[in-house]
A and B are shown apart, each in its own frame.
Chain A
Amino acid sequence: MSARRIFARPARFAAIAPYVWMALFFLVPFGFVLKISLSQTAIAQPPYEPVFHLTAGWTAIRAAFAALGFDNFRLIASDDLYLFAYLRSLTVAVTATALLLLIGYPIAYGMARLPKRWQAVAMVLVIVPFWTSFLIRIYAWINILQHDGLLNQILLALHLVSEPVVWLSTDTAMYVGIVYSYLPFMILPLYATLAKMEPALEEAASDLGAPRWQVFWLVTFPLSLPGVGAGVLLCFIPVVGEFVIPDLLAGSNSLMIGQTLWLEFFTNKDWPVASSAAIVLLVVLLLPLLLYERLQRRQLEER
């Protein structure tokens, strides 16, 4: 038997493995959510109807299908509450992503320009917060930002303020929490593209008469765009659906879609509406993803 034949089977399996994974753990659950989003809420266990019983026979299943409808989506479209939640989520995500890029880019750039052995150290420093539970780190921020917290104590001690500032339960606190939590996801892809960029390219630009800022805008930044794209997506998408950080750090007067979802699901026990809201969120998030994918393909085709 040739080596090729021996390896043919595992290789084929390796190629389909990601699809099997996606089918089992994404498509099938998505099917459940989609079905629930088309159902009606009911005081029952589970709290919606119709419920499919595969043993009930063909007519019963057809009747169940006929009972599905788009009522929940109509409700979401007609109620301002959901629209505002989506808008707030997108606003928060756009603002936070912009902040992350502004803060993350210089850090990634600085890391990529460090001597090789210090780059590894810097990398560990970026990743090390992950070793502590995310929730504990957010609770630590509550401690820092609360009325008699560390931040106010420092500000008072330095006589920068005369009385404690309200940080907690504000958007500022929420942005602090989001930027703090997501920064590594912005830094790492940026660092990866910047570190593999040939330093001679920047030298060539300055040799050809470009001052430092032009070297950055005409050469470094355009060449780091793939990293910018990856970092922006890695932050933007989860921030849109973020629940924990706004729930713990932001005020309760305006909710993000993740919080709204949570309320529908656990407080109102309205699984169908929660599912519909989740489906709409997914469609909204698919747009930037497809856009990025298309840009990347065009870049590849140009080569």
Chain B
Amino acid sequence: MTDELPRTDAAADAAGDARPAAGEPLLRIEGVAKTFGTFRAVDGVSLDIKAGEFFALLGPSGCGKTTLLRMLAGFEAPDEGRILLGGKDIAQALPHKRPINMMFQNYALFPHLTVRDNVAFGLRRAGMARADIATRVAEMVALVKLDGLEKRKPDQLSGGQRQRVALARALARRPQLLLLDEPLAALDKKLRENTQGELMELQRRLGMTFIIVTHDQEEAMTMASRIGVMNAGRLAQVAGPRELYEAPRSRWIAEFVGDINLFDAESKLRDGHRLVIGTRDAGTLVVAEPRQPVGESRFSVAIRPEKIKLSRRGPVREAGHETAINRLDGVIADICYLGGTTTYKVKLDTGGMVQASVANSARLDVDAYSLNQQIVAWFTPDDCVVLPS
């Protein structure tokens, strides 16, 4: 039933429905900046978002992601730049005049109104007919599986139920763009994971455009098709989850998204399509030549913990690969058992420390390593990335 929800409606029409021309992005953010006092919260952000995308703004607290979201909703006006929705500049439009809805971090449900009246609030403001409102509310309540709770007040609901009311209320007007401000932060881990799946399913089914703000990189990677990483008011990288993780553009991004081992480079030598890099802490490493050539600037070699293999003797040698494999000798300095994986910290003979994450693929750990055990950590050149410092 819900698969066939019509996409346009009174609410959007009343607000001046603006559909993008073919090939144009739904939302175009052009050089947007916002300063509070002397603090530049958002510092020249440009970004295109296509219709139907699930986009995540990811960053540490204070990076400007929430300010950017609030400018899209209309709660803050940008000092510079334009925000084009379907080609129309809405940067200075008031919040109630935008075909955009937002799901608030702590849901901001109206405590004096029932679930039904909360969901109907936006529809009444759009001047929808009574019968249509009743139909739409019923539809929304079913969509977020809240049947039977229509007459409850928000404080008679659990955290998960409140989150659903907030979602239903924000979706009810069928906005062209739904903004979600840390929508799952208040839920416990299990519920959060389930809800992530439901949100993705809902977004795909309704074909709506979602922009989610989160500080949780796992959440962003799970749900979003594209992620914009923000740092100090700027977009540091915009990429799909895989590219962001495997090919981060800078050392800061590599460290912010997941765990990573970093070795400062001291010298480099070209060897065909490989670079031989001398590092301070891990001896000489062979890495695949980066796509962007490394200039004379300082840089480091980065490798994710799960890409590092551990073995008692040495790497299994494949013909023609002997010289290419990076081999680091050391002793196990710390073991952290996490259930699915175990993280080992290896103190290298060359002085550095390297972290390796190993999947616990067998229940009985006859092969597990013990503290102070001599070990070889190894990885291939293709598993490394070279990052400017």
Contact = CB atoms under 8 A, between A and B. Distances in A.
Nearest to B75: A203
Interface stretch (B21-29, B105-113, B314-322, B333-341): B105-113
B142 to A, nearest CB: 20
A205 interface: yes
Interface in A211-235: 211, 214, 218-219, 222-223
Contacts of B96: 206-211
Contacts, number: 65
A201 B110 contact: yes
Contact of A206 (B14, B94, B112, B153): B94
A207 B155 CA distance: 22
Given A200-B104, A203-B95, A303-B156, A209 B15 contact: yes
Contacts of B94: 206, 211
Contacts of B231: none
Contacts of A201: 108, 110-111
A79 interface: no
B38 to A, nearest CB: 16
B108 A198 contact: yes
User: Most chain-A Cβ atoms within 10 A of its Cβ — which of B94, B100, B110, B156?
Assistant: B110
A196 to B, nearest CB: 12
B177 to A, nearest CB: 12
A80 interface: no
A180 B353 CA distance: 73
Interface centre among B11, B106, B125, B126 (most CB of A within 10 A): B125
B153 A303 contact: yes
Interface in A175-202: 198, 200-201
B104 A204 contact: yes
A249 to B, nearest CB: 40
B85 interface: no
B73 A207 contact: yes
A203 B108 contact: yes
Contacts of A200: 104-106, 108
B173 A209 contact: yes
Contacts of B256: none
Contacts of B115: none
B122 interface: yes
B101 interface: yes
Interface of A is mostly: helix
B102 interface: yes
A208 B104 CA distance: 12
Contacts of A198: 106, 108
A203 B95 CA distance: 8
Interface in B80-104: 94-96, 100-102, 104
Contacts of A205: 110, 121
B15 to A, nearest CB: 7
Interface residues of A, number: 19
B304 interface: no
Nearest to B127: A209
Nearest to B121: A208
Interface in B105-148: 105-106, 108-112, 121-122, 125-126
B112 to A, nearest CB: 5
A302 B153 contact: yes
Nearest to A204: B108
A303 B106 contact: no
A211 B125 CA distance: 9
A303 B95 CA distance: 31
> Of residues B73, B101, B112, which shows the largest number of chain A Cβ atoms within 10 Å of its Cβ?
B112
B238 to A, nearest CB: 26
B347 interface: no
B34 interface: no
B345 interface: no
Interface of B: 11, 14-15, 73-75, 94-96, 100-102, 104-106, 108-112, 121-122, 125-126, 153, 155-156, 169, 173
15 contacts: A200-B104, A200-B105, A201-B108, A203-B108, A206-B94, A207-B100, A208-B121, A209-B96, A210-B96, A210-B121, A218-B121, A223-B111, A223-B112, A303-B153, A303-B155
Given A207-B73, A207-B74, A208-B101, 14 more contacts: A198-B106, A200-B108, A201-B108, A201-B111, A203-B95, A204-B104, A206-B96, A207-B75, A207-B96, A208-B125, A209-B173, A210-B96, A302-B153, A303-B153
Q: Which 6 A-B pairs have the closest CB atoms?
A: A209-B125, A208-B122, A200-B108, A204-B108, A206-B95, A209-B96
